[in-house]
Chains A and B, each alone.
Chain A
C-alpha cells in the first residue's frame, strides 16, 4: 500500500517537475511577456581569473543600460543575471543550471574555455542561444551545437593574423614555440599549416615545445638559435614568455620575436627586462586601449563604473548588442528563431569589425590586431584591416 502511494507521489512529482520545466523552457514569453527579458552570464567572479568577471559584467551592463534607455527590445526591458563560474567546469555547469532555472532567454557569458565547455549542452537542452564573448577554444564549436556562437577570435583567426603579419614583415625562417598546453599548441599547429599554405619563401624551421613553470629554458633557446630563424613566435603565457625572450637575447638571437595573446601582459615586459622586450610583437584580441575609436566608449564606461574597462569588457558589451539585435530581427524570444536570426546577421558593427558568422558559428574575420612593445606598454602596431 505504502509502495503504491510512493509510486503515485513520484509520478505526481515528476509530472510537476516536467511541466515546471516546460514552463521554464518554452514559456518564458507566456509567463511574463511584459516583464524584462533576462540575459544570463556565467563569468569568473572568484578564483584565479576573478579579475575578468567584473570587466565582463560591467561591459554587458553598459550595453543593457544603453539599450534600455532607447526603449529596450520588443518593448521589454533587458536584465542581466550574472552567476559565478570560478573558471571551474563543475561550478560553471551549476551556474548554467541556475541561469536556466531563472528563465534566461539568452546566455552572453563564458570566459574560460574549459569552464564554458560543460555549459554548452545545459543551454542547448534548454533551447537557449549562447553568444560567448571571451572563451575561444576551437573545442567550443567542434560539436556544432546550433545554439553556440563565438564572437571572440579563435586559434584559427589568431594563426591567420600571425601569418599575415609574418608575410607583411617578410619573414623567411619562422620558429614556433609553445608550452605544450592545448591552447598554445593549437595556435602553433595552425600557424605552421598556414605558413605552409602561404608559401612565398617562408617556412617553419623549428616547432619547439617547452615545459611551463621552469626558469631555465637555455636548452630550448639553444635549439631555437641553432635553427637560425628570423622570426620567433611564442604562443604560451607571459611568465615563460618573458624568460624565453630574455634568454633568446642573451644567447645572441637578433631576429624578431612575436607572442600570442596569453603573453600580452605588462609582466611580460618586466620579466624580459624593459630594454630586452622593446619591439616584441604580439597577436592579441582587441582591448579597449588598442581599439581605434573606442575613446567615447571608454569615457562612458568610466563615468558609469568609476573604473577603467579591462579585457573582454568590449566583447561582453558587443555580446549584449548582438543578442538584442538578434531578438529584434527574430521578433521573438524563442531560441530557434533567435539562432536563425543570428545566422542572418551580416555586417553588424562590432569593435572587432563587421559581424557575420561562419557556418561554424565563429567570426568570419578579424578579432586580432598586432601590438608592439613600446616602453612599458603594448601599443597598437597594425590592425590588419587592410
Chain B
C-alpha cells in the first residue's frame, strides 16, 4: 500500500510542476496554453543537448552538473515560453478567445514537429541516468534519486508560491488575474508581468522535463503531449487558476492513477482516473480549491 501511495506521489509531483505553469497562465490570461506540455519536452531536449556537449564533466560531477544543466534548461525554456507569448499570443490578446486557443494548438504543433526536424523522430537516451540505491520505508521501495527529484520539485513550488504571495511582481500578477484593465490603470506593466508569468511557468515545465529525462532516460518529440493533457487535468481538478490547487491536483491525479492501476489493472487506469474526474467535476465544477468567478461582461 505504501508503495502505491509513493508511486502516485512521485508521478503526481511531475504533474504538479507542469500543472503550475498551466494554471498560472490561465489565471492571468484566461488562456489554455496547449504548448505548455511541449515546453516540458523542450526542456528535456535542451538538457539533453547540454549534457551531451559537456559529457566530459558530467561523468565526474554527476549531481552538481545535473543541477547546473537543470538551471540552464530552465532559463532556456523560460525564454522560449516568453518568445511564444510574444509571437503567438500577445498580438492576439484582444482577439476572440477561440483564435488564441487555435494559435496555442499551432504553437504546440510547431514545437513538436520542429523538434522532430532537429532531433529526429527516434527517442533519444539521456547521457546521465539517475538510479542507484534505494531505501525501504514502511515496506515501500524509495529510490534516492526519487527523493532528490521530489525535493527539487517541492523547492521549486515553494519558491514560486512565496514569490507570488509575497513579492511585488507576484502581487502584480494577482492583480492582473483579478482585473487586467484596472491593473493597467494602477500603473502595472501588464506586458512585462505576463511575460514574467510565461517565463516562470515555462521554466517549471522545463525543469520537469530535465528531471524526467534524467530519471526515466528516454525522451522524444511527442513526450509533452500526454503529460500536457495530464497536467491540464490536474490543474482542473485543483481548480484552474489556483497555485495550490494545481499542486494538489497533480498529486491527486497521480494517486488516482496509481490506485486505479492497482485495483483494476493497467488497462483500466485512465478509465478510472477520468471517470472519477467527471464525477468530481459534476459535484464541484470549480475544482478542489477553485473559486467561483462571475463571468465579466
Contact = CB atoms under 8 A, between A and B. Distances in A.
Interface of A: 48, 180, 208-211, 213-216, 218-220, 222-223, 239, 242-243, 246, 250-252, 267, 270-271, 273
Contacts, number: 82
B115 to A, nearest CB: 16
Chain A CB within 10 Å — which of B131, B217, B257 has the most? B217
13 contacts: A180-B267, A209-B267, A211-B266, A213-B223, A214-B226, A218-B11, A219-B260, A220-B266, A223-B266, A250-B131, A250-B143, A267-B125, A271-B125
Q: Is the interface of B mostly helix, strand, loop or mixed?
A: helix
A216 B269 contact: no
B216 A243 contact: yes
Given A208-B266, A215-B212, A239-B123, A222 B7 contact: yes
Given A48-B121, A251-B141, A208 B3 contact: no
A210 B266 contact: yes
A246 B125 CA distance: 13
B270 interface: yes
B123 A213 contact: no
Contacts of B143: 250
Nearest to A272: B217
B258 A270 contact: no
B269 A213 contact: no
Contact of B262 (A48, A180, A215, A223): A223
Contact of A219 (B123, B134, B226, B262): B262
Given A239-B123, A252-B134, A271-B123, 10 more contacts: A211-B266, A211-B269, A213-B222, A216-B7, A218-B11, A222-B262, A223-B262, A223-B265, A267-B218, A271-B218
B218 A219 contact: no
B158 to A, nearest CB: 23
Contact of B123 (A214, A246, A250, A267): A267
B27 interface: no
Interface string B122-137: 1101000101001000
B60 to A, nearest CB: 19
Contacts of B131: 246, 250, 273
A216 B11 contact: yes
Given A48-B121, A222-B7, A250-B134, A215 B218 contact: yes
Contacts of A180: 267
B9 to A, nearest CB: 11
Contacts of B10: 216, 218
B216 A215 contact: yes
B14 interface: yes
Given A239-B220, A250-B134, A267-B122, A213 B265 contact: no
A211 B123 contact: no
Interface residues of B, number: 36
Contact of B217 (A223, A246, A252): A246
B125 A219 contact: no
Nearest to A220: B266
B173 to A, nearest CB: 31
Contacts of A48: 121
Contacts of A273: 129, 131, 217
A48 B116 CA distance: 12
Contacts of B262: 219, 222-223
Contacts of A239: 123, 218, 220
A208 B125 contact: no
Contacts of A242: 217-218
B4 interface: yes
Contacts of A218: 7, 10-11, 258
Contacts of B169: none
B8 interface: yes
Given A211-B269, A273-B129, A219 B217 contact: no
A44 to B, nearest CB: 14
Which of A222, A243, A246 counts the most B-chain CB atoms under 10 A from its CB?
Answer: A222
Interface string B241-267: 000000000000000011011100111
Contacts of A246: 131, 216-217
Contact of A216 (B216, B222, B260, B267): B216
A267 B258 CA distance: 27
Nearest to A218: B7
Contacts of A267: 122-123, 125, 218
Nearest to B129: A273
Nearest to B220: A239
A284 B251 CA distance: 40
Interface in B249-292: 257-258, 260-262, 265-267, 269-270
Contacts of B261: 219-220, 222-223
A257 B265 CA distance: 20
A218 B3 CA distance: 9
A223 B217 CA distance: 22
Nearest to B136: A252
A223 B123 CA distance: 26
Name the residue in B123, B134, B212, B222 with the highest tally of chain A Cβ atoms < 10 Å from its Cβ.
B123
A48 B120 CA distance: 11
Contacts of B267: 180, 209
A176 B131 CA distance: 25
A271 B217 contact: yes
Contacts of B3: 222
B153 to A, nearest CB: 14
Closest 4 CB pairs of A and B: A219-B261, A209-B267, A215-B216, A218-B7
A219 B4 contact: yes
B226 A213 contact: yes
Contacts of B7: 216, 218-219, 222
Nearest to B11: A216
Contacts of A243: 216-218
Nearest to A239: B123
A208 B268 CA distance: 10
